[in-house]
Structure 1
C-alpha cells in the first residue's frame, strides 16, 4: 500500500479569540502547517475543510485569498469526528492515486454561539427520540458515569482523577485553553452539570481554534517522517433494547479495524490522544482501545500508566478537558499533537521515545446508537 506521510502540521491556541473571524483563525493554522511542510499553495492539489457549525462553503471562503488556483475544496461535517474524517477522506483519495499532496484543516468558533450546551440534533426534532426529549451530551455521559460507578464499584473521585491528570498535562501545553492544575477535591466541588459530572469534568464549551496538516505520498526529507499507518471511520449500529452503555462499541470496532490495518496492537502504542469530552469517556475508551481489559480502566489510571512518564501517556496535550474542544478542529489537532511527539517536538510534555501514536475521536449522538461516528488513526515513524 502507498505510504501517506504527515509532512507538516500546526494549530492555533485553543481559547477565546475576540475580534478574530473564523477565516483568519483557520488561515493562521494553514499557513504555519504549509511552512512546516515546506510547501507553497501551488504544491497543494486538494483541500479538505472540517467544520460543524460554520455554515456553507466555509472551506472556499477560507482559502479564497491564499493563492490556491481553483483546486477542489471539500467541506466535511461529521460532528466531533469531522477533522479526523477529513484526514480519512484525503487519505482515500491519495491511495486511489488522485492526489499526491493535500491540505486538511479543521476550524470551529464556538464563542459566537452564545454559550450553553450544543444540541445533539439540530434538524431532526420530529423523528429522533433524543432530540425530541431535549437530550444533551452531558446528560448522556452522566448516565454512563452513573452506570460506571454502580457496575465497577468506582467512586466519584475516580472520575475526577481523569480531570486532575489532564489539567496537569495542560499546564505544559501553550496551545491549551485551561493551563492551571486542579485537585480531586476542587473537581468534585465544582458546579454540578449532570450528576455525577461536575463542571471541571466537562470540556470547555466556549472555545475557538483551528488546526491543519499537510499529507503527501512523497517521503519528506525528515529524520523522523511520520506515516499514517491506518485510518478508520465507522458509523454506529442500531442497538437492541438491552445494549450496554459502558461498551463503547463503535470505538472498540474502529480500534480493532485500525490495529488490523496497521498490523499492530494496543501494546505497540506509545502515546494516545483520545476524545475526553467528559471524564467518564476517557475511562471507557481505555477499555475500548484495548489499553486496559474490561473492568480495569480505573486500575490503569491509578497505576500512573496514562500519565506523562507512564507506560502509555494518554492526552499529554491536556485533552479536550484542558485544551478545549473546537469541534471541527479537534481531530486534526490530535494528529498534530501526536506528530510532534513522534518527531520529538512536543517540548515540556514530550513522550520520550514515542514511535507509534493513536488518535481517537467520536462524533454525534443519535437515539439508538452508541455514537453517530467514530474514528481511529495510528501514526508511526
Structure 2
C-alpha cells in the first residue's frame, strides 16, 4: 500500500433544502496564449455572469475563486482578494478554493455550502487558470505533481495512467480502438459550434490515430490541451431558473497503485451515488452530461462509474452515436476538456456554465445551424470534475426550471 487509506471513499454532499438557483453564467473564450492577466481573466468571466444575472457586485455576499496553481503558472497569488478589489466590494467574503483539477467544482460546492449555511444569499463562483505563461515542460511538471509522491518518483505521469487504463480497457472489454478515437472526434465536432472553445476545427478518426503517440495507446488527439481561461456562475437562494439539485464530493485513494482495479475511479462513483440520492433521481433521468475527459478513456470510465453506461459498455454507446449531441445521452456538448480546453481551475465551472446554457435552451453559437449546438429538451444535467487521476471528484446535478 502506498497510502494509509483503506481505499474506501469519503463523501460530502450539498443538497439544497430550499430552491437554490444558478441565476447567471459567463465565461471567457478558452485559448492558449491569452493577453489577459489572471485577474483580468477572472473579472471578465465574472462580469459576464453578473450581467447574465442582472445584478451588481454590491449584491454579492460571497466570492469563491477556484484555481489550482496561479503561483506556479503565472507568478500570481491573492486572486480572490484582487477580484473583490477590482469590483470595489468590501461588504462581502472572498477566498480561494484549491483542489487540483477539480478546483472549479470544489468552489461551486463551497458556494452551495455557504448559501445552505446562511452565510450568503448570493454567491459568485469563478474558476480560472492561465497555464500558457509556463513553457510546456514546466506546465507538464506542475500538472504531474498532483500524482502520489511514490508514483511521481517512479516517473509515472497522468498521461501514463491514461495510457495504462486505455490499454487495459480495450483488452478487457474487447473494445474498438476506433471507438475511442470517436470520443475525440465527437467532442471536436461539438466544439466546432461553441464560440468559447479552444479547438473549433472538426477532426476524423484517422486524424486521431495518426497523431503523435503520447502514452500508448493514447495519442496527441486523445489528450486535453494546455489552456487559458475563466468561467463564472452566480448562485442564489430561493431563486427561479436552473436549480442545483445536489453537489457531492468524494475522496478515493491518492495512489492509483492502491486501487483494486485500475479501471475503477471510486471517487467518481461515490460522488455520483451520493448526489443521486440527495437529488432524488438517478442516472436514467440525466439528459445531458459534462464528463471530465482529460483523456478520451476517462469519458468511458466516468460514464460507467456514474451509471450512465454499464461496465464495459460505454464504448458501444460512443460507437453507436448515443453520446452525440443528437443522441440518447449527449456527452460533452460544449466540446469537453478535450476540445473546449482545460484551464485547470476553470473546467468545473465551465461544465456548470455549459449545462445551464443547455437546460435554458440557449447555448451561444456562431453556427447557422443552432440545433447543432443544442441538446433538445434537456431537463436534467450532470457534471463531474475530477482531481488528478480520480483521487478526488465532485459531481453536480442540475434541474431545469419547474
TM-score bracket, shorter-length normalisation:
over 0.9
Q: Distance in 1 between matches of 2:84 and 2:306?
A: 36
- Asked if residue 377 in structure 1 is aligned to residue 396 in structure 2, the reply is yes
Q: Which residue does 1:252 correspond to in 2? A: 269
- Asked if residue 181 in structure 1 is aligned to residue 202 in structure 2, the reply is yes
Q: Deviations over 1:31-60 (max 9, x none)?
A: 110011011111101100010111332111
- Asked if residue 334 in structure 1 is aligned to residue 351 in structure 2, the reply is yes
Q: Which residue does 1:351 correspond to in 2? A: 375
The alpha-carbon deviation at position 18 of structure 1 amounts to 3.6
Q: Deviations over 1:80-108 (max 9, x none)?
A: 11010001011111111111001000110
The alpha-carbon deviation at position 118 of structure 1 amounts to 4.2
Which of 98, 106, 119 is the aligned partner of 2:127?
106
Q: Which residue does 1:213 correspond to in 2? A: 233
Aligned with 2:327: secondary structure? coil
TM-score when scaled to structure 1?
0.93
Aligned with 2:86: secondary structure? coil
Mapped contact 2:292–2:336 kept (Cα < 8 A): yes
The alpha-carbon deviation at position 345 of structure 1 amounts to 0.7
- Asked if residue 190 in structure 1 is aligned to residue 211 in structure 2, the reply is yes
TM-score when scaled to structure 2?
0.88
Choose 233-242 or 40-49, whichever is displaced more: 233-242
Which of 291, 307, 312 is the aligned partner of 2:308?
291
Choose 179-188 or 240-249, whichever is displaced more: 240-249
Q: 1:112 to 1:97 in 2, by over 3 A?
A: same
Gaps of 5+ in 1: 366-370
Q: Which residue does 1:368 correspond to in 2? A: none
Q: Which residue does 1:155 correspond to in 2? A: 176
Q: 1:379 to 1:196 in 2, by over 3 A?
A: same
Q: 1:276 to 1:122 in 2, by over 3 A?
A: closer
Q: 1:230 to 1:114 in 2, by over 3 A?
A: same
Q: Deviations over 1:7-32 (max 9, x none)?
A: 00000000024431111111110111
- Asked if residue 363 in structure 1 is aligned to residue 375 in structure 2, the reply is no
Q: Which residue does 1:73 correspond to in 2? A: 94
The alpha-carbon deviation at position 301 of structure 1 amounts to 1.1
The alpha-carbon deviation at position 194 of structure 1 amounts to 0.8
Mapped contact 2:323–2:330 kept (Cα < 8 A): yes
Aligned with 1:164: secondary structure? helix
Q: Distance in 2 between matches of 1:18 and 1:173?
A: 18
The alpha-carbon deviation at position 62 of structure 1 amounts to 2.5
Mapped contact 2:232–2:350 kept (Cα < 8 A): yes
Aligned-pair Cα RMSD in Å: 1.7
Number of aligned residues: 369
Q: Distance in 2 between matches of 1:132 and 1:73?
A: 36
- Asked if residue 25 in structure 1 is aligned to residue 44 in structure 2, the reply is no
Mapped contact 1:46–1:73 kept (Cα < 8 A): yes
Gaps of 5+ in 2: 1-16, 72-76, 365-369
